Amino acid sequence: MSKTQNFQNHTRLVRGWHFYTFALLLATLIGSFVNLYHAAPEVHYNAALISCITLVMGTFFWYIRAFALKAQDRAIRAEENFRHFILTGKPLPSGLRLSQIIALRFASDAELPALAERAVKEKLSNKQIKQAVQHWRPDYNRV
């Protein structure tokens, strides 16, 4: 990465996936239903199949992303729990929500234990946790 990661620029969108694929899928979905609406009776079945296939593609688009994020979330939870254990000899506080743990991954080793405790006590949101990080620990792997 050429740019140092921080709170302002840590989100990452993949142009080919988030924009082009979504736009093409949306255009295909709209086109397939327009085609179904205007289809002659003798090709109505084919038009319905095209619409169904497009809906299946949309479902794939959604769940492929959801499943990948779920796997990344589980890995981050395990990594951060292990990192906290190495630093303190204790697992992460049990009151932390997954979104808080995911946000804590950006905290440096020096500030992780205190920020984890503060997140539980003050019920900080993931955005508040990220804004509280003084020494940003970049994560270039999550998309």
The predicted-structure confidence for 34-69, as pLDDT tens digits, reads as follows: 999 999 999 999 999 999 999 999 999 999 989 999
Domain-embedded: residue 6: no
Flag whether pLDDT at 141 surpasses 90: no
Q: Give the domain range for residue 72.
A: 15-132
Domain-embedded: residue 10: no
Domain-embedded: residue 54: yes
Domain-embedded: residue 57: yes
Total number of domains constituting the chain? 1
Tokens 């995911």 found at: 102
Q: How confident is the model at residue 5 (pLDDT cuts 50, 70, 90)?
A: confident
The predicted-structure confidence for 87-102, as pLDDT tens digits, reads as follows: 999 999 999 999 999 9
Domain-embedded: residue 139: no
Domain-embedded: residue 138: no
